[in-house]
Every structure is written in C-alpha cells, then in structure tokens.
Amino acid sequence: MSTAVTTHRPRPAAQPATLRAKRLPWYAAPAIALAALVVAAAVVYGVGIGGPVLVVVLAAVLYLAGLFAAANAVEGRRSARNRTWSALIHSAFVLAVLPLASVVWTLVSNGFERLDGNFFFTSMNNIGARDPEGGAYHAIVGTLEQVGIATLITVPLGILCAIYVVEYGRGRFAFAIRFFVDVMTGIPSIVSGLFVLAFWVLIVSPWFNDGRPSFSGFAAALALSVLMLPTVVRSTEEMLRLVPAPLREGAYALGVPKWKTILRVVLPTALPGIVTGVMLAIARAAGETAPVLLVAGGGAAINFNPFENNQSSLALFVYQQAGDASRYAPARAWTAALTLVALVLILTIAAKLLARRNRLGR
C-alpha cells in the first residue's frame, strides 16, 4: 500500500506596508506654488517693499521651502531633497529662458510696427526727419554682402588652420598658432576696425582709387573676418579633436592617405559642430557696429558694389536710428533689430539642414 506524499509550497510573504513608499499627490506641487505666489504677493504689496520681480523671487523661495517641508513629512527626507534639487534645476532652466523670451517678445512687439514692404524695399536716401517712410533695404544689402565676403574669407582659412593644428601641428609653431588664436578671441571689435582702417583704407585702398583713401564694404568684411577667424578656428579644432581615433586608424589600416582620411572621414564626422561654430561667428559678425562705422562709413543710399563707396549694415542702421531725433526713427530701429535676428536665425536653420542633409547623404 503506497502512501501519497504531498508537498506544500510556502506562500510568499505579504509585502510589509512599510515598503510601500508614500507619494505626494500630483496637485501638491502646483498648490504649493500657487500658495507661495499668493503669500509673496501679499507680503510684498502689503508692506510696499517692491514689485513683481521681488514677488517672483520671494515666491520661489517660499515654494522651495514649502515643497521640502511637504515632501519631508510625506515621503521622507531623501525624497524631499530629491524634489527640492529637481525644483532648483527647473527653476534655473526657467531663469535662463526668461531673458531670451523677454528679448524675443520685446523685439516682436516693438518691431512689428514697420514690418511692411516699404521698410524692406526702400532706403533712407532723401528721407527727412518728418518723413514716416524710409527703410533698411540698403542696410540689408550691406549686411549680406559684408558677412558673405567675410565668411568666404574666414571659413576656409579657419578650417585649414584647425586641421593643421590638430592633424599636423607639432612643436612651437602649433603652440604659437593656438596662443595667438586665443589672444585674438578677446580682441574688441573696434580694434579690428582700427587695424583695417590703418592698413587697408589708408595704405592699400589709395592704390586702387587714384591715390585717395576710400571706405568700402569690402574693408568692413575684412574687419569682420578678423573677428570671425578665432571663433571658427577654436570651434573647428575642438570638433576635430572629438572625432574618435579608431575612425582615423581604420582608414589608415585600409591604406587611405592621411589627406583623404581627413577629407572623407574626419571632416564629415565633425561637420555639424563645425557648422555650429561658423554660425556663431556669423552671428557675431552680423551684429558688429564699430568696424562698419570705421571702415565702411555707413550711408543712406543703396550700394550694391562692396568695393566702392560707403556702405551700411543692419547693426549700424539700428545704431543710427536709435540715436536719431525723429519720432519715426525708433520704430525703424526696432524693426531693423528684429530683421537682423530673423536673418541670423534663418541662416542658422538653413546651415543646420544643409549639414544634416549632407551627413545623411553619406
């Protein structure tokens, strides 16, 4: 007679209630923020010690303190510290975005008044102080030509210089290049304008102008290229250094020459970062006023020839209109500033899309 042996598996122990973490409800943080804002407004405006800025600052402090206290009481000290630091990080992000949003809103709200065809397709030639018309067509043309010429000069030279420093440069000469590039990074814009004024305008330009010095948009482009060059060199150098060494070694192992490795492997890999550095340099050059004023002279008429006569730019147009006594000048200045920002933004987006397309094509 056989006896069946039954085995009983032990049941899993029930999870203790203490292991179930308590959490603040989803509405706790917004409620604390609203309460902090109300209390801060009551204190600031009740005592009369400040305005909206102080209300926001005090509300932020009260919000952090209230969030820490509530989380500490419900979730524990560790979770409270985590929530507080997360709130600080988000607050830092908002603090960084607020000035940018304020600038964009100020430009759009003030520059919208003169966003019309007359502004974009007429110049300030024969425009008096009491004339509400007049635009920045001549300044737009000057900016595009000056920045375009400066880019054509700077980008090849800067990229070649960075390639030499990273791929070939050794010893004192490469160290000297890095040193002088770093020094040029901190040169004020007016110094580059004075350099081009003393060299090109006063010495070189008389050879092509019957012995008389002359302002020109090309001289402004030379001054802008001096400002753009260190940015292009340093950004390209850093991007080339970030290219992984195994990519180069794999090409060398296949028998690819070094120059072709740089051209077909290294540069395409670093292209997005190089484009970003170039656009930063272009944005800086497009917003410079002093070099254009010193060597291009500015002007109210349209000049399509960058090698002869005075030429204006959007940055110089903003400077001149902001100091004009005409009641219609501030609107022109705001619209020109908005146009300059939009122009740089459009060029940046176009360059990014082009770099991305080339990279995907490979």
- Percentage of the chain lying above the pLDDT 90 cut: 54
In the predicted model, what is the mean pLDDT of residues 244-268? 91
Gap between the terminal Cα atoms of the chain: 81
Quick one: average pLDDT of 133-155? 94
Residue 219 contacts residue 296 (beta carbons within 8 Å): yes
Which domains does the chain show, CATH number per domain? 23-112 (no CATH), 120-357 (1.10.3720.10)
pLDDT of residue 225: 95
- Evaluate if residue 34 carries a pLDDT over 90: yes
- Which residues are CB-contacts of 113 (< 8 A; sequence separation ≥ 6)? 331, 334, 335
The pLDDT-based confidence of 361 (bands split at 50, 70, 90) is: low
Residue 297: what are its φ and ψ, rounded to 5°? 80, -20
User: What is the chain's mean pLDDT, rounded?
Assistant: 88
Residue 340 pLDDT exceeds 90 = yes
Between the CA of residue 264 and those of 162, 251, 256, what are the distances in Å? 16, 10, 10
Whether the predicted pLDDT of 28 surpasses 70: yes
Bigger pLDDT: 171 vs 65: 65
Interval 69-117: pLDDT, tens: 999 998 888 988 999 999 999 888 888 888 888 888 999 999 888 888 8
Of residues 186, 147, 163, the one with CA closest to residue 233 = 163
